[in-house]
Amino acid sequence: MNLRAVRGTRDIFGPEMLAWHRAESVFREVTNSFAYEEFRTPLFESTDLFKRGVGEETDIVGKEMYTFEDRGGDSLTLRPEMTAPIVRAMIEHNILRHHPLTRLWYAGPQFRYERPQKGRYRQFHQFGAECIGSEHPESDAEIILLANEVLRRFGLTNIRLELNSLGSSEVRASYRSALVEYLRLHINKLTPDSQRRIDSNPLRVLDSKEPQDIAVVAGAPLLHSFLDDASATHFAAVRALLDVVGVPYVVNPLLVRGLDYYNHTVFEFTTTSLGTQNAVGGGGRYDPLFAMLGGGNVPAVGFSLGIDRMILLLEAEQGCWSEKPIDGVYICAIGEAARLPVNAIALRLRRNSIHVVTDLLRRSMKAQLKEANRERVVWTIMIGDDELANGTAVVKNMESGEQLTVPQYQLESIIA
Ligand code: HAM
């Protein structure tokens, strides 16, 4: 039997892993500088959480969830996103009672049954942050700037920030009716998918990529002409906060996002380097979500970035992932007698946090030296019968080729 990773999942290893490590250290650095704390939730939750939180009519809940019944008969779902689980946890632990403003970040795998292609997987990874408890535009701006800073610090340049406002929930509702009325007039010109969405999720018709739909949408009423004063003021304030720090964006009046919990500010980071998977990340304000999950009236805003897509983009922009850094030592045991003492030296160096490679294949000296080159070490230490007898070691600098004989007890200080 030919065992392979399940379609839409993949293994991450080798040079790509270095890019993941770099991403993870950027997440930690940037979230720390914005004073966000890490939060981890389980990989699966009760199915109800996503039905209520993300919305029954969304693509995610309608056709993409990995839902199963466990042995106890409960319906569980592998998390397709993190915002609903975070809000569930906030309510469950009553965190806001002691921290009425809570700033959190997370990173980890998510699961959606989508058609796999480059940049789109069934198990993918998100990094995200949520700012919970403030209704003010400063928190929208903080969240956008945090995401922007992560992308910038990670080294991505070909990224565009798109922004829109959905207005208050009331604005959204009255816009929805106007849009449905318009779409019904043009129903025959829409794709079957969009025809179906008129009743279930009409705002999604706006971000259809199908030329037929785009032509109809071109004449549709626009959301921002429905904004009430408070919503327009909120949106203007978010834009002013981005302007003042010089972060560029474009207002995209057709940006609506695919999840039900948003109101007011929504945004997406897009790229032209990944073909059709052009969204690197997205988010927005989700004031209705706490109430949808029984948590009262709590304003909040957040985003998630697709880590797999960030990594692919880095490769696309830079031509390759970076090479393994040159680091540490290779200890080469020459002859039978050296094998035992070499292990003691290796452990000593490792306890000094030095990166040490030893031979586990009992290879010849020539083969070990070749391996030392492949391992990209700074030094090779060679110990044979003479060195054992004298308590010394031959140390070779792999870059200059220079070689010297030193007492074994000095190895740490020479290498450090
Ligand atoms: P989302 O737009 O569904 O938002 O996902 C955010 C990002 O996750 C996308 O922009 C994309 O980069 C990545 N992503 C989504 N699906 C896949 C996939 N199948 N394969 C690879 N990458 C994917 C959310 O999930 C919201 N929870 C964001 C949010 C947080 N809103 C408020 N707070």
> Ligand 1: distance of its center to the CA of 403 in Å?
53
- Which atom of ligand 1 is closest in space to residue 283's alpha carbon? 31
> Ligand 1: distance of its center to the CA of 81 in Å?
7
Tell which one of 49, 81, 310, 311 to mutate to probe ligand 1, the residue whose CB is within 8 A of the most ligand atoms: 81
Our answer on whether the CB atom of 59 is closer than 6 Å to any ligand 1 atom is: no
Our answer on whether the CB atom of 112 is closer than 6 Å to any ligand 1 atom is: yes
> Ligand 1: distance of its center to the CA of 267 in Å?
12
Our answer on whether the CB atom of 309 is closer than 6 Å to any ligand 1 atom is: yes
**8 A C-beta contact, residue 288 and residue 135:** no
- Which atom of ligand 1 is closest in space to residue 60's alpha carbon? 3
Tell which one of 260, 293, 304 to mutate to probe ligand 1, the residue whose CB is within 8 A of the most ligand atoms: 304
Our answer on whether the CB atom of 304 is closer than 6 Å to any ligand 1 atom is: yes
Task: Give start-end residues of each CATH 3.30.930.10 domain in the chain.
Answer: 14-168+228-318
Q: How many Å apart are CA 147 and CA 160, to the nearest integer?
A: 12
Task: Give start-end residues of each CATH 3.40.50.800 domain in the chain.
Answer: 329-415
Q: How many Å apart are CA 120 and CA 85, to the nearest integer?
A: 22
Burial class from Cβ neighbours inside 10 Å (0-12, 13-18, 19+) for residue 14 reads: exposed
User: Which of 229, 286, 282 minimizes the C-alpha distance to 263?
Assistant: 286
> In a 3-state reduction of DSSP, which class is residue 150?
helix
Tell which one of 309, 310, 312 to mutate to probe ligand 1, the residue whose CB is within 8 A of the most ligand atoms: 309
Q: Give 205-231 as a DSSP string.
A: GGG---HHHHHHHTTSPPGGGG--HHH
Distance of CA 237 to the CA centre of its chain: 27
Residue minimizing CA distance to atom 17 of ligand 1: 120
Our answer on whether the CB atom of 106 is closer than 6 Å to any ligand 1 atom is: no
329-415: which CATH topology? Rossmann fold (3.40.50)
Residue minimizing CA distance to atom 12 of ligand 1: 306
Residue minimizing CA distance to atom 23 of ligand 1: 306
14-168+228-318: which CATH topology? BirA Bifunctional Protein; domain 2 (3.30.930)
Tell which one of 113, 122, 126 to mutate to probe ligand 1, the residue whose CB is within 8 A of the most ligand atoms: 126
Q: What are the pLDDT tens digits along the chain (416 aa)?
A: 789 999 999 999 999 999 999 999 999 999 999 999 999 999 999 999 999 999 888 889 989 999 999 999 999 999 999 999 999 999 999 999 999 999 999 999 999 999 999 999 999 999 999 999 999 999 999 999 999 999 999 999 899 999 999 999 889 889 999 999 999 999 999 999 999 999 888 998 998 889 999 999 999 999 889 999 999 999 999 999 999 999 999 999 989 887 889 999 999 999 988 887 789 999 999 999 999 999 999 999 999 999 999 999 999 888 878 788 899 999 999 999 999 999 999 999 999 999 999 999 999 999 999 999 999 999 999 999 999 999 999 999 999 999 999 999 999 998 88
> Ligand 1: distance of its center to the CA of 217 in Å?
24
